[in-house]
Structure 1
C-alpha cells in the first residue's frame, strides 16, 4: 500500500481554489469581452440603420435637406447628404474601411431629397478604446479577486478546518493516555458530523476492546493462579508419597508401600486430568477444530447411558427421542459425558436424556442449581458443593457447544420436580 500523501490541507485547498480562479476568471473575462464587442457592433449597426430609416421617413415628410441632416445627426455618427445636383450637406464624406463603419442609402421621397445619397459613417475606434478599457478592468479585477481570495482562504481555512484540528487534538490526547474524551458533534448528518461520529464510535470500540483485553488479562491471571493452586494439591501429594517411599526404603511394610503407591497413581491421574482439561480449554480458546459428520444423537446418548450404568449401577438412565445433526461426534460425546458425570457426582439417582432435532436435554433428580449461580458454574475452576473435579468440565462442555455454533444452558426441570436440566442446543444444520 502506498504511503498516504499528507501535505498541508490548507495549502492544497488554497492552491486548488487559486488554480480554479486562474482558469475560471480568464475564461469569464474573455467571454464578457467577446459578448461586449459583439453587442457594441450590433448596437452600432442598429444606430446607423435606425438613422437611415429616420432619414427615409423625414424625406417622405418633405423635410428640407438641411433640416433633415440636423435631425438625423447623432453623437458618433458622421452625416453626409449629396443631392442630385451634386450639392453636399453635412460633414465631408469619408472613405469606408479601417476604423470607419459606413451605411449608404438613397432617399426615395421629397421634392429636393428624392434620389439624394445619404452617407452615415461611424468611427469604430471608440469601440476599440472601450473594449481595451474593459479588458484592462477585467485584468485588474481578476488579479484583485485572486489576491483577495487567497488572503480570504488563508484566514477562512483556519476556521473551516477547526473541526479537524479538534479531531487531531483528541487523537493525540488519547495516544497520550487520556481516555474518555469525545467530539460529540452537534450535527451528525453533515460530512464533518458523520466523520466525527465515526471517530467517536471508533474510540468507543477501541476503549471497549481495551477494557475487554484488560478484563481478559485479569481473568487469565486469575485462571493461571487458580490452575496453579489446583495443581499444587496433587503435586504435593505426589511429592509426599514419593518422599515417604524413599524414607521407608525396601524394608517398608507391604501394606504401607501399597498405600503409598496407590496414592502416587491417584494423584498423578488427578494432575494428568487437570493438565488435560487445561490443554482442552486452550484449544477451545484458540479455535476448536471440529471433525464434522452426520451424528445420530440417539446412538450417542445410548452409548453414554451404557457407560454410566457400568460405572454407577445405582443410577438409572433413560433415553428418549431421536435426532441427527452435523457435528463432531467425539466432542459431543465429551459434552454429554461431562453432564452425566456431574449429575452422578451431585447425587442424582435418575437421569433422563431427551434427544431432539436440535440438541440434547439432560435432566436429573439431583439438588439442582440455584438461579443465582447458574451462569457462574460455567466459569473455569468453579466447584460445586458435590464436585470432585477441578471445576473445568462445564466450561469445556459449553466451549465445545459454542464451537458448534450452539450453547449450553441450565434451567429447572420442565415438570417442576427437584433437579436440574442442562440443554445442549445445536443450530439446525450445524
Structure 2
C-alpha cells in the first residue's frame, strides 16, 4: 500500500471517528438537556402550586395556574373530588406528584402534573437523521478534497525519489534546489541538499536539532501540565457557579444569586490573571525583544512604593539608597519590581514592614526588596523561582499568589543581562531579602569610546551618594 493511500485512509478514519464522537455527544447533550428542562418545568410548577395552596388560593385556580404551556394538572381533594384534566397514560409521559397544605379545601390534596415528552423524542429523531445525512455528505466531500490535497502535497516526494535514484546510479552534482523552503517538503528538500553537500555536518546538525526538539517538548509538556493544574480550580468554580445559575437561577433568592455572580466573576478574573502570567512566561522562554531605553531605578522604585502603600495602607513601606540608571525595557522592569513588591507585601502582612534599597556595585545596579515576614528557608531559596511554587500550601491563589511572580521577575532580570536571587538575612533580622541586579547604562565619552558606567547622583534628602550600598 502506497503512502498516499495510507495517508488518505488515516485521515478518513480520523474524520469518521471525530464525526461519530461529535454526533453522539450532540445527541447525548440534546437528550440530557431536554430531560432537565422537563424536570425543571414540573418542579417549578409543583413549587408554585404549594405556594398558592399556602396562600389560600382555591383548588380550581391552582389547577388553572399550573396547568398551562403543555403541563396537565389533576388535583384530587381529600373527599375524593378530582379537579383538572385527565392524565394521559402510556410511554412518553413524565409525571410529578406532590401533596398540598393550606387553610382551605386544598389542605391534604394530592396534585399530579404530567408532560408529554414525545415532542422531545421526535426532535431527537430528526436530529439523528440530520447528523447522519450531514456526516455522510461531509465524509464524501472530505475524501475527495483529501485525495486531491495529498496528491499535490506528495508530488515533490516523487522528484526526491527520482533524484535519489539518480545519485545512487552515479549522477553526482545534481540537487533539488527547492524554491519554496518555508514548507515542510521544501525544508526537507533543502535538508536533503545540505546532506549531500556535507554529510558529517548534516549528521551533527541532526543530532543537535533532535536534542533541542526534545528539550522544547519537555518545556512544553511542563508548561501545559502547570497550566492545567492551576487552571483547574478557577475553571471548576466558574463551571459550578454557571451551572447553578443556569439550572436554578429562577428559584434562587437575590442574595444567593448575587453571591454566585460575584463568585463567577472572581474565578474568571483569577483564571485570567493566571493566563496572563503564563503568557508572560512563555514570551520570556522565547527570548523576547526588549525596548531598551534609559531607566531611572530610583523613580521606578518610588512609583512602586507609592502603589504598594495604596494597596497596604497599614503596612510600613519605605525606599532609600542611590539612584542608578540602567538600560532596559521600562514596562518589563516595572513588572518585575511589582512582582517583588507584591510578594513582599503578602509575606509581611497588613502591618508588616517592607524596605526597598538601591545601590551600585561595580557595573551593576542592585535593588534589595526586604520584608519582615516568615522568611524563606535556605533549602527553598532557589526552588521558589520555579514555576507554580508556593512555599505555604495553606495560602490560596488569591492571598498567596499563584507561584509565577518570582519566576517572571527572574526571567525579566536575566533577559536584561542581570539576575534575581534570594539572599540570606541576618539571623536576628528575619524575613526575606530578594536582590535584583541589572547592568548599568553604558555611556560614551566624547572620543566615541565606551566610558565607565556612572550612577546618577544620590536621591535628594537621603544623604546617600551613588556608590553607597543598600
TM-score calculated relative to the size of structure 2: 0.46
Q: Which structure has the larger Rg over C-alpha atoms?
A: 1
- TM-score, reference length from structure 1: 0.50
